[in-house]
Structures are given as structure tokens and as C-alpha cells.
Amino acid sequence: MRFTSQTSSDGVTEQFFTLGEIPGVLWTPEDARGARPLILLGHGGGQHKTAPGNVSRARRYAAAGFAVVAIDAPAHGDRPKDEGFDRIVAELRAGMAAGENPGALVAGMHSYLAGQAVADWQAVLTAVQRLDRVGAGPVGYCGMSMGCGLGIPLIAAEPRIRAAVLGLLGVQGLAEDAARITVPVQFLLQWDDQMVRRDQGLALFDALASAHKTLHANPGKHGDVPSFEEDNSLRFFTRHLS
Amino acid sequence: MRFTSQTSSDGVTEQFFTLGEIPGVLWTPEDARGARPLILLGHGGGQHKTAPGNVSRARRYAAAGFAVVAIDAPAHGDRPKDEGFDRIVAELRAGMAAGENPGALVAGMHSYLAGQAVADWQAVLTAVQRLDRVGAGPVGYCGMSMGCGLGIPLIAAEPRIRAAVLGLLGVQGLAEDAARITVPVQFLLQWDDQMVRRDQGLALFDALASAHKTLHANPGKHGDVPSFEEDNSLRFFTRHLS
């Protein structure tokens, strides 16, 4: 793990790093020492580790005492381009322009990336928890849309993750992994999501095997999650990881 | 409005009253003076104004600075028996024992009570807001199951109510009133509700015309709403009425 820059402001330290080929960012409380809860923060499709929503959420969590780490997903952000992925994205755009329901194409895109994404997260989790200021505290995962599509296989495979905030995605391609998830989940659904059919989103919530899962649905489109849900997510992680 | 008893403990004053034929309870912060947000608290079918869930919620809200008032619904608690209502309840029980979906029978029961219940709440709201320690602050309504079935016609008819926590009920008989509700609503749904079909509960949330509405769904049966939803309700009212 190689740190390439470090800045601190408003009580939060932000460090860019690479781990092998994986570019990432770690946020911790300034002067943090000792083990603390860690949140793995997955970004949406076409976004990257420092998308504005990611950064504001990460800084907020770090100010509350958490460590937060984000990485670029395969074929995103500072990662190399990938012809197979570009082809899938082109098909997805063409399908949506033609008025197709994008569920199957989105699921295919996530499935194409998931194997690498899961391996990346597992390596980053191991490396970050070796740092003194992070340590081997309880771990949560937070990701919407593609962050949910890559997070569900990760959580199904990774026993170190003990709670998750997921959502903005349908069940296609994810039912089997969802049925292996038993940790507490807070699941966000946008009632008028133009990318995710309502019944498919409800079916993904339904497919999670967690005894403690809670669905929050709000009016609006894919990108319109109300800001009070950020408070709810932080409270959820505080309840389950502190 | 005639007060019949008053006790105070843990910083909360509890006063029983009658307003005409309506028996009620008012909770306020001990030594409260001046206007404050007021919550109208509706109880479930077969329950009454001091059902344990009502009292714990009311005391919690009063400790947070709210005034809270609960009344016995028509044909409930200390109200006189009603042969028409008893007949409806007997039909409901027989239908459920025969494995029928109770939605239509429940809707009929609520419809039988709603006219009187709405008039009762309007009279109580007027009377309670005349008290110095309550005053004409913002008003919310909280009711699940039958409390939702009587609350929806009330909120549709009553412009003084500015936010509501509702749920545990399906859309049957309520679509028109729900479509007249535009205030913020937090709506609770139990994912495995044996009394309310999931699609009917989702359809009631869908029918609300509120731009600010949020659905919270949790696993479990009709009576299994997790206790953290009480915190969520209090935060919702604090956000919209303070």
C-alpha cells in the first residue's frame, strides 16, 4: 500500500493511495489512533472514488469517528480502460435510447466487473485494517446502484462485513448472492426510479436473507435520494458497528 | 373539556379528560408553558387510548417537548358499545378464521367508524389547543392500522394537520382520501404482515399525494414493528413540526 498524498481539513484526514493496480482514498478522523469501525464505500456506474456524493458522505462519517475507504471500480476513475466493458456500456446506452428496460443490461455490466471488484475490495480491506489508525474494527459496506451490484457479491463472499447500506438496483442477476446475505441491511429505493423497475427493486430487498433489513423508499428518480437518508445511513452504521 | 385526573412522573404530566362523550388523555412536559407541537395519537383496532404502545410513545414525545393527545375511538376503550360495530367485528373474525383476506372487512370497519372519529378528533384538537400549555403550535397525527384507517380521512379533511406517521394498512377504501393528502408522511409497512397484503400496503403508500413521503418496511408480522422506528417517528415529527 503506497500513500501518494495526504491533506487534513475540518478534523478529517484524506489520503490517496494505490494498492497494486487499485487507486483508492482513505478518510480518517485527524489524529486517529487505534481500531475503529471501517466503511467500504462503493461508487455508482460511470462515477469514481471521489465523486462528490462519495466525498461528502466519507467526510461526514470520518468526522463521526469512522474510517472510510473508497476505490475506483474496475474500468472506472483512474483504472485502465477495458474494451469489453466499453462494449457493454455502449449496448446499455443504445438499449436505453431505444426505450428498453435496462435491468438485464445493467446486471450484465455488474456481473462483468464483479469478480475483479470483489477481489479488489478484499485486498484493500486487509491492507487498510493493518494501519494503526484503522485497525481490525467492525466493517460496513455502503453502495448504491452499481455500488450495490458489486457490493452484494462482495458481502455474500466476505464474512468481515457486518452491516450494509444498499439500494437503487433491481434483483436481476443478484438473487443467489442476496439470499446468502444475513447481516443487517438498510436498503434504499426511489419510488419513481427511471433506471430500476419498482417491482425489481422490491424483489431485491425481498431476496436478502437478513433478519434485520429495513427498506426506505422515497419519491423521485434514481438520483434524487433525499439528503436525510445520509443521516439515516450514518445512524444505521452507528447502531450496528459501534 | 373536563379534566378528571392528573399525575406527573419523569418530567411528563399525564391528564385524563372528557370532552362531551369523548374520553381522552393529554401528555405534556411537566411545567410546560406556551405553544408547542402537538401530536394526535390514534390507537389500533380493539385497543384504547392507554394501550401500552401508545403510552410509551406519548411519554417519549412529551419528554422531547411535544404535547400528545390520545382519545378512545368510537366503540373502543371507555366508549359505549355499538351493536353495528360488534356485528362487523364478528364478521371480521369469522372471515379471518375461514382464511379470507381481511382487507375488505377491515376497510368496512374503519369506514363505519370514520365519520364519528374525524368529528371527535377535530373537536379535541380545537379544545386542546386552547390550553395555555399546548397552544396553537404545528400539529401532527400518528396512527397505525386502524389508527391509519381513521387518520387518513381525518388528515384529508383537516388542514391543521401538517405531518403524519401512518402505516400497517392497505389501500382498500382509502384511495380517494389518500390522494387528497399532501403533507409529509412517514409510512410503516411490515413485510410479512398477516393482516395486510404487501401489495395493498405499497398501494396505500403510492396513493398518498404527498411530495415528501417516505416508506419504511421491515421484516415481521403486523405487531412486530421494530423499536427503532419509534426513534425514526420522533425524528420525523421533529424535522417537520419544530
Q: List the single best residue of A214, A230, A232 to mutate versus B (max B Cβ within 10 A).
A: A214
Q: For residues B205 and B199, what is the distance between their CA atoms, to the nearest angstrom?
A: 10
Identify the bridge partners of residue A30 per DSSP, sorted by sequence position.
none
Query: Which of A166-170, A206-210, B92-96, B226-230 shows the lowest mean pLDDT across its residues?
Result: B92-96
Identify the bridge partners of residue B40 per DSSP, sorted by sequence position.
B69, B141
Q: For residues B75 and B85, what is the distance between their CA atoms, to the nearest angstrom?
A: 7
Q: Are A106 and A193 in contact (CB under 8 A)?
A: no
Total domain count for chain B? Answer: 1
Residue A202: list chain B partners with CB under 8 A: 202
Question: Residue A131: its pLDDT value, please?
Answer: 97
Q: Is A91 domain-assigned?
A: no
Q: Is B92 domain-assigned?
A: no
Question: Residue B32: its pLDDT value, please?
Answer: 92
Count of A-B CB contacts under 8 Å = 41
Q: Are A116 and A76 in contact (CB under 8 A)?
A: no
Question: Residue A83: its pLDDT value, please?
Answer: 95
Q: Is B100 domain-assigned?
A: no
Radius of gyration of chain B (CA): 17
Q: Which three cell numbers stand for residue A117?
A: 471488484
Q: For residues A119 and A150, what is the distance between their CA atoms, to the nearest angstrom?
A: 11
- Distance (Å) from the C-alpha of residue A163 to the closest C-alpha of chain B? 16
Q: Is B87 domain-assigned?
A: no
CATH number reported for the structural domain that contains residue B31 in this entry: 3.40.50.1820
Cβ-based burial of B49 (10 A; exposed 0-12, middle 13-18, buried ≥19)? buried
Q: Is B11 domain-assigned?
A: yes
pLDDT of B99 higher than 90:
no
Domain containing residue B192: 2-82+113-241
Q: Are A120 and A18 in contact (CB under 8 A)?
A: no
* Mean of pLDDT over chain B: 96
- Name the residue facing B215 among A206, A217, A239 (closest C-beta): A217
For the residues B99-106, what does the mean pLDDT come to? 86
Question: Residue B102: its pLDDT value, please?
Answer: 82
- Distance (Å) from the C-alpha of residue B219 to the closest C-alpha of chain A? 7
ipTM, two decimals: 0.89
Find, in chain A, the residue whose alpha carbon is nearest to that of B215.
A217
pLDDT > 90 in chain B, percent:
93
Identify the bridge partners of residue B13 per DSSP, sorted by sequence position.
B8, B28
Per-residue pLDDT of chain A (242 residues; tens, 9 = 90+): 999 999 999 999 999 999 999 999 999 999 899 999 999 999 999 999 999 999 999 999 999 999 999 999 999 999 998 999 999 999 999 998 998 878 888 999 999 999 999 999 999 999 999 999 999 999 999 999 999 999 999 999 999 999 999 999 999 999 999 999 999 999 999 999 999 999 999 999 999 999 999 999 999 999 999 999 999 999 999 999 98
Q: Which helix (H) or strand (E) holds A25?
A: strand A22-29
Q: Is B96 domain-assigned?
A: no
Q: For residues B105 and B108, what is the distance between their CA atoms, to the nearest angstrom?
A: 5
Residue A206: list chain B partners with CB under 8 A: 191
Tell me the residues of B at the A interface, defined by beta carbons under 8 Å apart.
Answer: 189, 191, 202, 205-206, 210-219, 226, 228, 232, 239
Q: Is B136 domain-assigned?
A: yes
Q: Is A169 domain-assigned?
A: yes
User: Euclidean distance between the first and final Cα of chain B, in Å?
Assistant: 27
Q: Which three cell numbers stand for residue B85?
A: 360495530
